[in-house]
Amino acid sequence: MDSMYIEVCERLDWSVHECEDGTVELESTSPAGEDLIVTVDADGFVENVKAYAAGFDIDEHIEMWISARSSGTAGVPSTRELVKDAEAIDKMLQELAAALWKAEMEESVNA
């Protein structure tokens, strides 16, 4: 994977792990402390991150955690905090996708 993309990710507080199976794991932490792990194919990395960000469903994410809390998962924040956190996660993903796209465009102009 291009080191430029790794630098963009790390600048936005995402750590990058290239896996042997041809995927890339991006890890970060949400404002409420949720460990975020996004796995995408390395081939077409920027497009895959953009697609992941576009497909993130805030309501589905909130519902997942409310369901987990109902099932006895400890440490799940209040619903109000879950809403704020899911919105922040969406913003983090959108910012990452936009920054990677910008870097890709700049690289293609300079190539």
- pLDDT tens across 20-50, in order? 999 999 999 999 999 999 999 999 999 999 9
Q: Nearest to residue 97, comparing CAs of 52, 44, 61?
A: 52
Local confidence band at 76 (pLDDT 50, 70, 90 cut-offs):
very high
Q: Nearest to residue 101, comparing CAs of 51, 60, 61?
A: 51
Local confidence band at 111 (pLDDT 50, 70, 90 cut-offs):
low
CA distance 58 to 62: 6
CA distance 32 to 42: 28
Q: How high is the pLDDT of residue 1? A: 76
For the segment 43-54, what is each residue's pLDDT rounded down to a tens digit? 999 999 999 999
